[in-house]
Structure 1
Amino acid sequence: MENVLFDDLLQSLKEAKAISEGKAEASRRFQMSPTDVKAVREQIGLSQSEFAKLMRVSIKTLQNWEQHRRSPTGPAAALLKIVSTAPDIALKSLHS
């Protein structure tokens, strides 16, 4: 490994350690707002059972999302984003 690359990696690790210990501020922070699952469901006009079937999750999972006891992750979160952004296309694709 080149010395310059190694020095850059070492400096990055030192910065990460300082940030994790609270000795330095992160240069960037990202805030991800959770998707309002109930609002998305109501936007497209489906019941909980219909929306749970569409999302291929149990109704209990959907209720946990809607009541903010749990948050959708991974593919479910991505699909919710698509449904909220382009409901016509998402519904057409998922029903065919």
Structure 2
Amino acid sequence: MDDSMFDALCESVKEAGAIRRGEKKASRETRFSALDVKSIRESTGRTQEAFAQMIGVPLSTLRSWEQGKRAPTGPARALLTMFKTDPEQAAKLLHVA
């Protein structure tokens, strides 16, 4: 890494710190809309128990998502987005159709 790239990286880290401390406003924010997990599950025609097992999460986690107490993140969010887009194809990809 040359000096100019290293300097740019250091400046970015300093800027991130300032944003985190509230000293500077972020230039942009990314917000994700909430997934309606219950409607996604219902589109599959499965019970909470069956859907939780199918996507590999504890039943309590699925219930927390459906009640809005927690929100799915990472791979779980991606998987639920697949089910939202095409429930039948997502089930086939999981070999549970």
TM above 0.5: yes
Structure 1 residue ranges, 4+ long, deviating more than 6 angstroms after superposition: none
Paired residue total: 96
Q: Percent identity?
A: 46
Question: Residue 9 of structure 1: CA displacement?
Answer: 1.9
Q: Root-mean-square deviation (CA), in Å?
A: 1.9
Question: Residue 28 of structure 1: CA displacement?
Answer: 1.4
Counterpart residue number, 1:73: 73
Counterpart residue number, 1:52: 52
Structure 2 letter corresponding to 1:90: A
SS at match of 1:43: helix
SS at match of 1:31: coil
Question: Residue 37 of structure 1: CA displacement?
Answer: 0.8
Question: Residue 89 of structure 1: CA displacement?
Answer: 0.6
Pair 1:41 & 2:41 matched = yes
Gaps of 5+ in 1: none
Q: Which has the larger radius of gyration?
A: 1
Question: Residue 5 of structure 1: CA displacement?
Answer: 1.7
